[in-house]
């Protein structure tokens, strides 16, 4: 495809794990069941380790999300083989500041240009559900790309994908995030 077909997104990297330079983010080399090409870091967390650090209930919820994906929405990329991103730089900044927990010392933001992505409102996956029926209904809404009243858009980008160098880095100082590096795009 032509360069003009690419859309720009922004990835928030917790703990600045990718380093500061541009690089290709790939799937793990561990083929597993429905993921013969391997898993993303997110997928490994749930499929290989079987849990979200500090929250075992989240692992079963992620399994339900994937079960619904495989049965109804396989044309969209699985969360377990994707890199997550935001649609704008400003949304990436807000996401990092809000969702990088207290155990995260820093996060960085990287620009990604790609042709193949799927956009979803992650607010459908919030913890407000009381019943399995509510969760199932809202997971379908997530996969359909529907918006809540207060959408929090996330972009699923199937791996492998080339990500640019870090354009902003934030470090935690107490309860606040301080920008410690900014690169011109």
pLDDT (0 to 100) of residue 66: 94
Quick one: the chain helix, strand, coil %, rounded to 5? 30, 30, 40
- Residue 23: count other Cβ atoms within 10 Å of its Cβ: 13
Per-residue pLDDT for 93 more than 90? yes
What burial class does residue 132 get, using C-beta atoms within 10 Å of its C-beta: 0-12 exposed, 13-18 middle, 19+ buried?
exposed
Summarised one tens digit per residue, pLDDT across range 33-60 is 778 888 888 888 777 766 555 566 777 8
Judge contact between 46 and 32, C-beta under 8 A: no
Token pair of 49 as six digits: 């380790």
pLDDT band at 2 (very low <50, low <70, confident <90, very high): low
Q: What is the layout of strands, in order, in the sheet containing 153-158?
A: 82-85, 153-158, 118-121
Strands 118-121 and 153-158: antiparallel
Summarised one tens digit per residue, pLDDT across range 69-91 is 999 999 999 999 999 999 999 99
Summarised one tens digit per residue, pLDDT across range 151-184 is 999 999 999 999 999 999 999 988 889 998 777 6
Domain around 134: 3-182
pLDDT (0 to 100) of residue 159: 95
Summarised one tens digit per residue, pLDDT across range 96-151 is 998 887 778 899 999 999 999 999 999 999 866 678 899 999 999 999 999 999 99
Summarised one tens digit per residue, pLDDT across range 14-36 is 878 887 788 899 998 877 777 88
User: Into how many domains does the chain fold?
Assistant: 1
pLDDT (0 to 100) of residue 1: 47
DSSP string, 41-79: HHHHHHHTS-SBTTBHHHHHHHHHHHHHHHHH-TTSPPG
């Amino acid at each position: 495809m032509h360069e003009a077909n690419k859309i720009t997104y922004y990835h928030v990297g917790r703990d600045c794990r990718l380093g500061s330079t541009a690089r290709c983010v790939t799937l793990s080399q561990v083929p597993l069941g429905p993921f013969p090409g391997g898993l993303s870091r997110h997928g490994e967390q749930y499929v290989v380790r079987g849990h979200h650090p500090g929250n075992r209930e989240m692992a079963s919820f992620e399994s339900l999300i994937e079960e619904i994906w495989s049965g109804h929405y396989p044309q969209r990329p699985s969360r377990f083989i994707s890199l997550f991103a935001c649609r704008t730089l400003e949304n990436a900044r807000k996401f990092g500041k809000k969702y990088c927990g207290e155990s995260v010392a820093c996060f960085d933001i990287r620009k990604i240009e790609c042709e193949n992505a799927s956009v979803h409102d992650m607010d459908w996956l919030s913890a407000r559900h009381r019943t399995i029926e509510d969760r199932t209904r809202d997971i379908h809404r997530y996969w359909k790309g529907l918006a809540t009243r207060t959408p929090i858009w996330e972009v699923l980008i199937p791996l492998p994908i080339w990500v640019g160098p870090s354009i902003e880095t934030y470090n935690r100082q107490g309860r606040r995030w301080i920008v410690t590096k900014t690169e011109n795009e």
